[in-house]
Amino acid sequence: MEQKGRKVAVVGMGGAFPTCNSLDDFADKLFGNQSLIRTWDKATAHGKNIRSTVSGYISEAEMHLEPVYSPLAVDYPEVYVDLLNRIPDINLSTADIGSIWAMLGALDAIKMAGWTTEETQSEATGVVVGSGGGGHEIQRNAWHNFFVLGKKTRIAGSHTVDRSMVYRDAANVSCLIKNKGVCESIGSACATGLGNIGYAYRLIKYGLQDRAVAGGVEGTSLETFIGFDAMQILSRGFEPAKSSRPFDKDRNGFVCSFGAGIVCLEEYELAKARGANILAVVDSYFNNSDGDGDMFYPSFAGQKRLWKGLLSGIEKRPDVVKVHGTSTPIGDAIELLSVVDVLGEKDFHISAPKSQFGHMLGAAGAVEFIAAVLMLQKQQVLPCLNSDNLNEELENFQQKEQWEGSKLPLAAYRHLLPQQSFAKEINSITCLNYGFGGTNSAILISKE
């Protein structure tokens, strides 16, 4: 149960962001209304075998990493070299690319938090970091060499397991910072990033930890990309900067992107007592399942119940709603209509960061949480880029007899969806993320 009086503060942030060399660079580009999406050469190299060719991807060189390829297996990055010497070689030996991003993000977040070595390595400090999927490049090599080429298992090297296991991101961060508290990884599809932060919040709120390094990761992977491309749910037919278009009537799928978002959470009074720079306060977290048995279709009722749980016992209402906003035809419409069903049609705005950097899957909720904290800091609302034209007709599901939501078209809510960033007094923000299997997560943060 919650311990009365315990609050949770956000005291540090870091990560890996497409085309950006730092958190400050990321912020400058976001509030400058820039897109971080570009044509991906690894996708175009496969010609018509891949339908979508745009991504918010991150290359090794951009993160100052150099792959060392195995002399025994073709195109297999046996280990990565950190050209800036930020991570010890022993930690690099057990990490895939996403885990390296997680470690780099953790180092930046801890530095911003100002935690001492004693605090970081305490039994009261936990690590909760997850990913939607990963280790694919590692596994691809191992299985191809064994099953297709008939080579011995040792060709895969001795780190296939630790570089591709489900909780590799949390494990690598924990081994790097040497914390003695919790080390866990929560996997909940595209709600993973926010879910890990939410779980870390509960660990602190319930008195099980005093601090936590938390977030989500999705390492650049062509395997991930082609999986979604095969489902025919990726954006196509637009230039890169125009390809992610939440709520626009011409949206035809999401942009598959990659990145990492890591934050440091701390019990509020402890943070305040040591003079920490408190970036935001977490007021509430809630997650649920749709319960309708559908793996993919979004649930209006499930999202309304999510809001009910989030705001239970909370008097404040958000000035900004950071939506999931993937650019999928049904998903965007259901989400917008569920938001206005709960909050009405005024006194708040909607921000869709995926319009600027695409859908980072397991990292999405964490990177977008960081974007929300940046909005609080800068007192600016990030835009819904490319939401040029909203549907002026009712959605098909709105015309069904059992529909219980708004009977107005999406165009009626044009005023809630800014197409450029703008200044506004922001005291609180709600972050929303959903995932396959009907899983939903929501968090409410506010200024200190």
8 A C-beta contact, residue 34 and residue 303: no
What is the C-alpha to C-alpha distance for residues 105 and 107, in angstroms, rounded to an integer?
5
In this structure, what token pair is assigned to residue 59? Answer: 């290359």
* Closest-CA residue to 189 (of 86, 324, 308, 80): 324
183 is catalytic: no
Catalytic-labelled residue, pool 20, 256, 359, 431: 359
Residue 337 has φ and ψ, to the nearest 5°, of -70, -30
Q: Catalytic: 324?
A: yes
Q: Tell me which amino acid residue 151 is.
A: K
Q: Which of 175, 324, 349, 384 is catalytic?
A: 324
List CB contacts of 65: < 8 A, sequence separation 6 or more: 80, 81, 82, 83, 97, 100
Q: Which contacts qualify for 119-122: CB closer than 8 Å, 24 or more apart?
A: 119/211, 120/177, 120/178, 120/179, 120/211, 121/177, 121/178, 121/179, 121/180, 122/179, 122/180, 122/181, 122/210, 122/211
CA–CA separation, 416 and 422 (whole Å): 12
- From the candidates 190, 256, 264, 431, give the one annotated as an active-site residue: 190
CB distance 193 to 129 below 8 Å = no
Judge contact between 116 and 137, C-beta under 8 A. Answer: no
Which residues are known catalytic residues? 190, 324, 359
